[in-house]
Amino acid sequence: MAAEQKAVEEAAQAAADLAEKERLESLARQQEEERKRLELERDAERQRLEAEAAEKEAQRQREAEEALRREEERQREEAEAKGREEARLKEEAEAQAREEARLRQEVEAAAREAERERLADEARIAEEERLAALAARPTPKAVMEPMTTLTASPLDEMEGESEPEEKKGLLGRLFGGQKKTVVRRTLDDDMLEKLEELLITADMGVDTALRVTANMAEGRMGKKLSVEEIKTLLSQEVTRIMDGVAKPMPLYSHKPQVVLVVGVNGSGKTTTIGKLASQFKAAGKSVVIAAGDTFRAAAVEQLQVWGDRAGVPVLTAPEGTDPASLAFDAMDQAQKDGSDLLMIDTAGRLQNRSDLMEELSKIVRVIRKKDPDAPHNTLLVLDATTGQNALSQVKTFQELADVSGLVMTKLDGTAKGGVLVALADKFGLPIHAIGVGEQIDDLAPFDPEDFAKALVGLE
């Protein structure tokens, strides 16, 4: 019995031990499951927090991008507004400038008109006073006859009868002879007025004529002067004006020295180029001529004839070729050949033809691509027979092509040449030479004293 009781107790204890073991294992499993659950909850919470942080960062970035976009939009709008304001101010400034220019032109036009009317009134009053003075006293035959040229003037007729002397001096053939002085006349207002008319008739222009006679009269009014003395005073005043402009064309060491020759049709550009080329070659310079008047075949042929006479090559292009293109090619050739001078002829241009004048501007722009300092000389050739129109030619060509010097042609025959004095007085441009004939050596250096003496009829 004791053994059975013990067996029962051992079995009960074993069952109790097994139950406790199972309880402990169940508890352990529950604890493990709780741990895992807690870890899952922690992971879920961490992920939730990370997701919230990521969302907040994304929101922050979106807000920053939106703020940046708004700032850029604001700056763009401000820039556009500033641009519109600047454009408005510019338009207002341009409109104001145009208005000021228009008003200035109107004022200048009014001033010119007033000056013209004033001069016309003064001339009319002076003429009325002169005619009244002439009507009030006996008039010598010499005063009644028209004053045509400086060398066939009332000054000569007041001297009495005598034979004209032989014409002398470099320019003597340009003007009439002179007579020996036999009388003296008082230098008064009447005499000055005759002298002014005489100078204006010789194409000297009103302003220059008034300036010359005013200088003559200074300190001499009321004095008796011989005709020879009056002519000498005139010659001295003309010489004084011309002295500062009598300069030969400068030659430079730069190769090639580009000489652009401009002028209106018929002024004598082609013959002048030929004569200058001959003189430069005689001075030991190598010269090339570019026949830039490509619009007229006759002009190219004429220049080739003068090139042959001077022994100088002439570069040509087919008729109708762009003159600027020829000028560019000629510069290229002259640079390769090492030529001293390149003389470029241009088409005869009337200063009121805007298309032809623009073509001249194009030539200047093109040659400056080869040499920024070119042309080194721009010679304007003027026809002495055009009279006061030469003044407007100089003004226009000087603005367009930066004229550096003048050559006056056709100072022979009936040309009076006084316009050369007006040009020197108004513009002060160097006068390099004068043409007195059609032969290749008929291009003389300008001598102010000889010119002045020939102009007034002195030996």
**DSSP letter, residue 240:** H
- Do 174 and 230 reside in the same domain of the chain? yes
The model's pTM is 0.61
- Do 327 and 392 reside in the same domain of the chain? yes
Would you place residue 346 in the very low, low, confident or very high pLDDT band (cuts 50, 70, 90)? confident
- Do 104 and 171 reside in the same domain of the chain? no
- Label the pairing between strands 184-186 and 224-226: antiparallel
Residue ending a domain, choose from 94, 109, 137: 137
User: Which position has the higher pLDDT, 159 or 210?
Assistant: 210
Q: Is the pLDDT of residue 147 over 60?
A: no
- What per-residue confidence (pLDDT) applies to 273? 93
The reply to whether 14 falls in a domain is no
Query: pLDDT tens, 34-56?
Result: 898 898 989 889 999 999 999 99
The reply to whether 72 falls in a domain is no
Amino acid 412 reads D
The reply to whether 354 falls in a domain is yes
- Do 446 and 338 reside in the same domain of the chain? yes
Residue 287 CB neighbour total at 10 angstroms: 26
Radius of gyration for the chain, computed over Cα atoms and rounded to the nearest angstrom: 49
- What per-residue confidence (pLDDT) applies to 101? 78
Name beta bridge partners: 433: 407, 445
| Six-digit token string for 203 | 């194409």
The reply to whether 434 falls in a domain is yes
- What per-residue confidence (pLDDT) applies to 219? 85
Which range of residues forms the domain containing residue 202?
141-243
As a whole number, mean pLDDT of residues 65-71 equals: 91
**How many distinct structural domains can be found in the chain?**
3
Q: Is the pLDDT of residue 174 over 90?
A: no
Would you place residue 286 in the very low, low, confident or very high pLDDT band (cuts 50, 70, 90)? very high
Residue 442: closest CA among 199, 217, 278, 233 = 278
- Do 153 and 275 reside in the same domain of the chain? no
Most confidently modeled range among 129-133, 317-321, 341-345, 439-443: 341-345
The CA distance from 57 to 51, in Å, is 10
- Do 434 and 300 reside in the same domain of the chain? yes
Query: pLDDT tens, 387-417?
Result: 888 888 898 888 878 899 999 988 764 456 7
- Do 172 and 264 reside in the same domain of the chain? no
Q: Is the pLDDT of residue 168 over 50?
A: no
- Do 210 and 336 reside in the same domain of the chain? no
Would you place residue 342 in the very low, low, confident or very high pLDDT band (cuts 50, 70, 90)? very high
- What per-residue confidence (pLDDT) applies to 134? 47
The phi and psi torsions of 347 (rounded to 5 degrees) equal: -65, 140
User: Which position has the higher pLDDT, 252 or 351?
Assistant: 252
Residue 205: closest CA among 46, 387, 82 = 387
* Mutual angle of helices 189-201 and 227-243, in 10-degree steps: 50
The reply to whether 11 falls in a domain is no
Residue 446: closest CA among 316, 423, 25 = 423
The reply to whether 44 falls in a domain is no
164: alpha, beta or left, given left = phi > 0 and alpha = psi -120 to 50?
Answer: beta
The reply to whether 252 falls in a domain is no
- Do 228 and 376 reside in the same domain of the chain? no
As a whole number, mean pLDDT of residues 275-296 equals: 89
Residue ending a domain, choose from 243, 271, 304: 243
| Six-digit token string for 159 | 């001297």
Query: pLDDT tens, 184-241?
Result: 778 888 888 888 888 888 888 888 989 998 998 888 888 888 888 888 888 999 999 9
Residue 378 CB neighbour total at 10 angstroms: 23
Q: How far is CA 3 from CA 8, 10, 264, 300, 429, in A?
A: 9, 10, 158, 157, 157
Q: Which of 3-17, 180-194, 358-372 has the lowest mean pLDDT?
A: 180-194
Residue 220 CB neighbour total at 10 angstroms: 14
Residue ending a domain, choose from 97, 118, 137: 137
Residue 340, domain CATH: 3.40.50.300
- Label the pairing between strands 257-262 and 341-345: parallel
- Do 351 and 301 reside in the same domain of the chain? yes
The reply to whether 391 falls in a domain is yes
The phi and psi torsions of 374 (rounded to 5 degrees) equal: -80, 155
- Do 321 and 184 reside in the same domain of the chain? no
- Do 198 and 326 reside in the same domain of the chain? no
**First-last CA distance in the chain:** 188
